[in-house]
Amino acid sequence: MARTRIPPVAGGLAAAVAVVLAAACWVVFPPETAGHAIAARPAVDLPLPWPAEGQASAEVQNLGSLGSRGEQGPVPIASVTKVMTAHVVLKDHPLRPGEAGPQITVDEQAAAEANSAEESSAPVRAGRGIGERDLLALMLVPSGNNVARLLARWDAGSQEAFVAKMNREAAVLGMTSTTYTGASGVEDSTTSTATDQLRLAREVMRNPVIREIVATADLRVDGVPGPIANTNTLLGRDGVIGLKTGSSTAAGGALMWAARARDGALILGVVLHQNPGGTPAAGLRAALDNSGKLIAAIQRELPAATR
């Protein structure tokens, strides 16, 4: 069979197009070496105070990557896990803005876990019906581990079945360095990278229900003692509108964050593995402090860099 000959000009154009597409994909979806993502090449190179330890990644909507720092190898992410839990629940049971959603009965397990001194929880009572949106808020705002597992059981019948959904969704989003082993993040075996979690942040901030919940500074739910404060104390500073904190001894402090630039553009970032091995409270303070410095610098430097 005779081979089809590609004219030199056409071949050259095709090669040029391939190079351009490959370069674009490099920025948006960084390659991997031995399972570890290589830091994304910044589309806008700003002088930023990246955290000295752990890993971080940031981007600006419709502009591109601001870069990454630290080895992008999987580390425990603690309660940042709950962002994927919320994403999967809302994918299976979508809500419109302002909609309460179906009533979900608090089971005995969730009520018993509300009294745990070992992990963060929300004060829910057995037998009480709470709307889907309010439960999502109790999971994301005060970081209720018991509510995360309740939502997983309600959605999939068991936490194990729900975790399988989480991992399938991570694969769909191209989160190749992520493994979920629980719905709450309490397990140190749930691991990810800043670049992977940035992909998830990009996806969930398209959902107006999640955007509204994670921007809530304090929460009131009928039948639940309140008000309940958001663990993300950066809200309202430097345009911050979310997203989710995480902390444990193994994970240190973690923060997936979202902010609005002065021109309204959405800035997204993830900071992981801050002060690991110390107390969860110290790790969270480090994650919030370092993220705050990073966000303030982006807000300051971005306008001049994009003129």
User: First CA to last CA across the chain, in angstroms?
Assistant: 56
Q: Which of 57, 68, 121, 143 is catalytic?
A: 143
**DSSP assignment of 173-188:** TT-TT-B---SSS-ST
| Cα 286 to Cα 31: distance, rounded to the nearest angstrom | 29
The response to whether 165 counts as a known ligand-binding position is: no
Q: Running DSSP on this structure, what letter comes out for residue 72?
A: B
Structural contact between residues 121 and 216, judged by C-beta atoms closer than 8 angstroms:
no
Residue 251 CB contacts under 8 Å (≥ 6 apart), including other chains: 75, 76, 77, 78, 185, 188, 272, 273, 276, 283
Q: Which of 57, 79, 120, 248 is catalytic?
A: 79
Examine the residue annotation and report whether 248 is marked as an active-site residue of this protein. no
C-alpha separations of 32 from 39, 108, 173, 214 in Å = 9, 44, 15, 31
Q: Which of 65, 82, 177, 247 is catalytic?
A: 82
Examine the residue annotation and report whether 79 is marked as an active-site residue of this protein. yes
Examine the residue annotation and report whether 165 is marked as an active-site residue of this protein. no
Q: Which is nearest to 187 in space by CA: 211, 212, 156, 166?
A: 166
SS3 per residue for 207-272: CHHHHHHHCCCEEEECCEEEEEECCCCCCCCCCEEEEEEEEECCCEEEEEEEEECCCCCEEEEEEE
Structural contact between residues 258 and 235, judged by C-beta atoms closer than 8 angstroms:
no
Binding region for substrate: 244
Question: Active-site residue numbers?
Answer: 79, 82, 143
Binding region: 244
